[in-house]
Every structure is written in structure tokens, then in C-alpha cells.
Amino acid sequence: MPSCQKHLITCRCILPQFKRVTNPPDHQFVVFSTVNDDDTINVKFAQCNNCGIVHKVTDICRSEIVARESMGSIKTISDIKLGFSTDLANLLEANNAELHAWEHAQFIIENKLWGDFIVLSTDEEAGLREGKYVRILGENMFKVDTFTREENVK
């Protein structure tokens, strides 16, 4: 059965709000990767959502910066949207879903992994994490629901 993984890639860029900080935190962005039967990922290129620099994603949480600032071959939301039902595309757009969520939805539909879900948004307040997700039930069937869970960070 095909599998996938969302993971963080670290970029050397600095978010604008940290430009004047002495030791700014590294910027990280979420990448969606497909995983092979031998637990290796399919190498792909991803563009930083802050500075736009291209990364060659070689493993979970690992990448190499490519000496290019753009690549026309990187999949975009517009590319993925063409294969979706209008309702699902509208839902993802209304929730400002990032590229990794669109790629995950495409993976679920293409592999008929009915019942899998994608988190659309989360908020944290007083130790509670609340969120909204879409569960994909069929090619043109999905259900939006919410969740609440207690989070204890130690």
C-alpha cells in the first residue's frame, strides 16, 4: 500500500519578523513526500514558502539547496486543482490550504485511501488544541469535522 509523510524542511532564510533578532530561528516549511516500500522517499523539489529558494528533498526532514531560485517543474496548487471536484477545491481554498495539503488530498484520491483526512486548521488555547479537518470518503465525497484534544507540553 502506498504511503506518505508530511515533514519539515529547514531553509536558511529568515522570516521578516526575525530580521533584527541576534540569533533568529531557522525557517521551516512543511513538505509532502511519498514513501517507497523500502521506507525511502521519492526525491522531489520543493520551494520555500518564505524566500522561494528551491530545495531538493532527499529524505524525511533533509534537503539540499539547489542553485536555482525557481523551477517550472515544481507542482503548484493550480496544477493539482485541475483534477479536483469544485467542492473540494473550494473547501481547500476557503481554508487557505498550503501546497502540502493539496498534495495530500491528491494522494488520497489517486490511491483511493478513502477515510483518510487532512487537517485544515488548528488553534491552541489554554492547553487545548482545536482544529478542523476534511475526511475524504470517496472521489467526490468528503466530510468536514472538528476535533479537540488536550496537549501537555513538557
Delimit the domains of the chain by residue range. 3-65, 77-150
Percent residues over pLDDT 90 in the chain: 73
Q: Positive or negative CA dihedral for 80, 82, 87, 89? A: positive
Q: What is the pLDDT of residue 106?
A: 97
Q: Positive or negative CA dihedral for 80, 84, 90, 91? A: negative
Q: What is the pLDDT of residue 138?
A: 93
Q: What is the pLDDT of residue 20?
A: 85
Q: What is the pLDDT of residue 2?
A: 83
CA 106-2-64 angle, 5° bins: 75
**31-67 pLDDT tens trace:** 999 999 999 999 999 999 988 899 999 999 999 999 7
Which single residue is written with the C-alpha cell 517543474? 73
Q: Is 101 helix (H, G, I), strand (E, B) or coil?
A: helix
Q: How far apart are the first and last CA of the chain?
A: 35
**Closest among 154, 147, 152, 120 to 136, alpha carbons compared:** 120
Continuous segment of H or E residues that includes residue 123: strand 117-125
pLDDT confidence bin for 3, thresholds 50/70/90: very high
Q: What is the pLDDT of residue 111?
A: 96
Query: Residue 29's beta-bridge partner residues?
Result: 9
Q: What is the pLDDT of residue 127?
A: 85
Residue 154 pLDDT exceeds 70: no
Residue 153 pLDDT exceeds 80: no
| Mean predicted lDDT score pLDDT of the chain | 92
**Closest among 76, 86, 74, 147 to 117, alpha carbons compared:** 147
Task: Pick the more confident residue, 121 or 21.
Answer: 121
pLDDT confidence bin for 94, thresholds 50/70/90: very high
